[in-house]
Amino acid sequence: MSKFGYQVLGFGSFTSAGGPGVWATLGDTINSNRYMAVIAGNASAALISGGNSSNAVESWNGTAFSDAADNLATTVESSSGGGTQSSAISISGTRGGSNSTACEKWDGSSYETADSLTTAVSIGTGVAEDKDNAWACGGHTGSVNAKHEIMRSGTWSVQGTDMLTPRYYLANNASGSSGNGAAVTGSTGSRSNKNEEYTYSSGSSGSWTTNDNLTTALDENPGSFGKTSADDLVVFCGEPAGGPDGGTYEYSGGTWTTGNTYPVPARNNFGGGPTGNGLSVGGFREDGTGYIDDGYIFTRAIST
């Protein structure tokens, strides 16, 4: 028997009936070959910002890409962020060739300066509900970063407890919510399969817990879908030990399962959107193709 997309197993227990998800090719491409672009929104309506030393911003309406009304103030890559198509944030990253604390927020028609992070950092992870509520975690400051920050009502605060396993090149862009974010995979100096979550309380307080590790160690910023919690995620691509292979991994009920493979063996192609309506664009292929402009959507019955 099933109800509301879940299969009932017995008193007090259930499992998601939504997976595995399916990948499909978009009917359009972004306007330039690039990777590490921040994606806000979902597969139906999204905003694509920066990536690969670009300041370009594009809008996706579910059918085609078009130039947005404004661009970022400077070229950006290795950043994080998200939000919606009308309210988004681009968080730190490499700006003008150096790690930066700068953030920019999108109000639906233009980008403007947002509150800055405390630490200049790149290639970490981050999530955002909108331009004023976000989480930024880990990354690289010249060494591995253990710090993370919460944005509430437009202002960042450094959290009082460091992440359990400091990492950079984590799964990026839609790893849970700003109140319950996931620090998945990445590098400590070597590839990691760690899966840890942070639950925010208030101010600078919250707590870390360790979850079931991903079955495959990945770095090079895998993409991630999941906008409500750290307990229902889709992590894909990145770079395992044998090189990019498009692996897709779904996390639900405390367990990882291997899903359908991404259409191309890409890495550094961030993800935006919920687990049932995700969007990934661009990336890098090591099979001689290099930077790409392709885009793909991920759909499944259950969307969080």
All structural domains of the chain: 25-299 (2.120.10.80)
pLDDT of residue 57: 98
| For residues 250-257, average pLDDT | 95
d(CA 22, CA 1): 24
- Taking only the tens place, the pLDDT of each residue in 173-230 is 999 999 999 999 999 999 999 999 999 999 999 999 999 999 999 999 999 999 999 9
| For residues 246-263, average pLDDT | 96
pLDDT of residue 12: 35
Looking at the chain, the whole-number percentage of residues with pLDDT higher than 90 is 91
Q: Which residues of 59-76 are buried (b: 16+ CB within 10 A; e: fewer)?
A: bbeeeebeebeebbeebb
pLDDT at 8 over 50: no
- Taking only the tens place, the pLDDT of each residue in 110-166 is 999 999 999 999 999 999 999 999 999 999 999 999 999 999 999 999 999 999 999
- CA–centroid distance for 189 within its chain: 21
- Taking only the tens place, the pLDDT of each residue in 55-114 is 999 999 999 999 999 999 999 999 999 999 999 999 999 998 899 999 999 999 999 999
pLDDT at 13 over 60: no
- Taking only the tens place, the pLDDT of each residue in 282-297 is 999 999 999 999 999 9
